[in-house]
Structures are given as C-alpha cells and as structure tokens.
Amino acid sequence: MTRIDRYIIGIYIRTLLICFCSLGGIFVVFHAFSNLEALSAHATAHGGIVWAMLDYYSPYLLLIFESTNAILALLALLFTIGWLRQSGELTALLAAGIRHGRILRPMLIAAAVVIAVGLVNREWALPKFQSQLGSKPNESLGDVVQPMHPEYDRRAGILVAGEGLIGNQRKIVGPAFRLFARYPGFGDQLLATSAHWLPAAEERPGGYLLRGVKRPLELSSVPSARREEETVIYSPADHDWLEADQCFVVTAADFDLLLAHGPGKKYVALSDIISRVRNAAVHTSTDLRLQMHGRFLRPLADYTLVLLGLPLAVSRREGNLFVMVGKALMVVAFFFGARSLFHAIGGAGYGLTPSLAAWGPLLLLGPIGYARYWSVQEV
C-alpha cells in the first residue's frame, strides 16, 4: 500500500463517518423530540440524559448502519472522488499516468471492509438487542412484551400460542396451547399464567415449563401424556420436580423459532433462521425461506450496488458533485426497486421459488456491476 493509497483511504473513512453521523444524528434528534417524556424517565434511571441516550440509541445506530452500509460505502466513494477532483489532486494523479481504476482500488477495498463489518453487525451484534429495538425508552427499563405469532408443532400436534413474548426472559405471557392431538385428561387446550423455555436436560427434552396452569383444573391428578412412545406433556402427578400448578410441554417450536417468526425476525441471526427452516416439525413460510436466501447473498448484493455506481465517479462530463450524488441515488433506487420486485414476486409465490427470487436481482445486476467495474479500469 502506497502513501497515496493511505491518503485516499483516510479521506474515504472520514467521509464515511461524516455520512453515518449525519444519518444517525437526524434519526436521534427526531426520535428524541417525539419521545421526550419516555426519554426523561429513562434518564432518571440511568443517572443522566447523556448515559440514557447512549444506552438507548446505541442499538439503533447499529440498526441504521446495518440498513445503510452499502449506500454509505457508495456515497463515501463518490464524495471522496468529488473532493479529490475539487482540490485538483485527481487531475495531478491522472496527469502522472495513474488510471481511475488504480485510484479507485483502495476505496473498493475499503468498501468491501465496510460491507464485511455490516455482516458482522447484522449476524452478531443486532440479535443481542432485538428485545430493545422497537421499544420506547421507558419500556427498556423493564420487560417489553412483544406480539407473538402462533407456531404449530406438527410432530406433537400442539399450537403454541399466547398473549406475547418477553425476549430477555425467554418467556410466553398468557400461554394458550391448543392440543390438536389426543392427550387424555388434558382436553383441547392448556391455559397458564406464563411459560418459560427450558433447554434439554438429563430428565427431559427441551420444552416450555407452564406455571400457574388454569386448565385442566385438576392437573395434579392427570397423568403425563405420551405420543408415539414419547412423553409430550409432563404432569406433576408422576414427576416430583413439577409443582402442583405446573406442567412441562415438549415441543420443537422453541423460543428462537418464535422470535424468528415474530415482529423482530429481521434482527434474528442467520443461524437461527437456518435452524427453523431445517426443523421439519414446524411450518416454514415462503417469506422466511426468502429471508434466509437473501441473508446469504446480502454481502454480494451490497457490493454489486457499489460497483453499479463506479462510472459516476470517473465521468469527465459531470463536475457538479450534487448532480453526481443525485444520479447515485437514482442508481440506489433502481437497485432496491429491482430487489423489492423480485422479493415481492417470490414472497407471493408467483412463479419464483424463494431461492430464485433471492438470486434474481444478483443475476440481473451482478453482470452489469462487473462490466461497470472493468469499464473504469481503462479510463
């Protein structure tokens, strides 16, 4: 790496940080002014407004970066070229016989690093804050109840449903499990105050511990129920580790699957989505399969967007930076419009499988981006 490369990368990183801070600052200002009372209560519990805002808005800044890292990488590249052109440094480099392709190389490498950081953020950082994202500042002081999407376990014949989920406790509030299979003594429904997911242990498989069981009424006198030679519902009648108002339900619809199908599914890690798709006991929607394939291809698609905007950086006919950025935004709109169209068709099941709907935008725009990359090498 030459001194010029380090100089260009330095300008690129500063430009990227300025763009990101501008977007993050706009979001924080508008969101804070619309939630002043909740933010004030959050500040009281955290010893000051500065610490409260850092605690609450840090996950949102990660979310903004996850959503815009490809756009930021492209805009930073264009702004860097615009700065070099305006200062006359680009002219000096070109006069020295250095081609645009060589000048763009360190920025393309930096853009790849930005997209890689976005991947790490998406798969490892954001899933840790999925219970906080979407909540108000004062709600993060306690337990946030998220809406719950019912999940049917085909192997056990049980519909796992309830009033809501508390992610940090792995808890279902107001569970109402519908029993479509025959379990003598338990009727057609299990009602309880709460249900906590417990991983597999020596004495039992993984499942939900229901506390405060309201139905069936005489739970302590009902023996455990089996299906296909496996115990599915553990009763306190023959298991001493259960209290009189508790029962344990074995199901493949674990808590991670509920989160992966709930409103916070876009913050779930790819590994959790894959586990759900591979679980034959539960139904996997077309939308979730499409999301899984899209997650695999997201880094390639993001880098394709950067390549599509390269000719704008080397154009000699356009000297106005804002016109160049406007054209770049048109490229971004076209890219996301094509991807949204393929995903909408694939999600609705109109002639495209989830895998083809996820690959479609890349197959269409990838060769164009590759051709644009080579077109700037000779300029």
Model confidence band, residue 141 (pLDDT cutoffs 50, 70, 90): very low
Model confidence band, residue 228 (pLDDT cutoffs 50, 70, 90): confident
Q: Of 181, 193, 192, which Cα lies nearest the Cα of 225?
A: 181
Taking the model in full, what pTM does it have?
Answer: 0.82
- Mean pLDDT over 328-340 rounds to 93
Beta strands in 228-319 (DSSP E): 230-234, 246-250
Most confident range, picked from 27-41, 138-152, 213-227: 213-227
10 or 323, greater pLDDT? 10
Size (the chain), residues: 379
pLDDT higher than 60, residue 273: yes
* Distance of alpha carbon 237 from alpha carbon 257, whole angstroms: 30
319 or 81, greater pLDDT? 81
Q: What percent of the chain has pLDDT over 90?
A: 52
* Amino acid present at 284: T
Q: What is the pLDDT of residue 325?
A: 82
Looking at the chain, the number of H-run helices and the number of E-run strands are 11, 11
Calculate the average pLDDT of the chain. 87
pLDDT higher than 60, residue 14: yes
Angle 19-22-28 (CA atoms, 0-180°, nearest 5)?
Answer: 140
Q: Of 118, 89, 122, which Cα lies nearest the Cα of 16?
A: 118
pLDDT tens digits, one per residue of 58-110? 889 999 999 999 999 999 999 999 899 888 898 898 888 888 889 999 999 99
- Dihedral angle, C-alpha 297, 301, 304, 309, nearest 10 °: -170
Q: What is the pLDDT of residue 182?
A: 92
Q: What is the pLDDT of residue 243?
A: 93
pLDDT tens digits, one per residue of 145-204? 788 889 999 989 999 999 998 877 889 999 999 999 999 999 999 999 999 999 998 888
Q: What is the pLDDT of residue 361?
A: 94
* Distance of alpha carbon 230 from alpha carbon 56, whole angstroms: 45
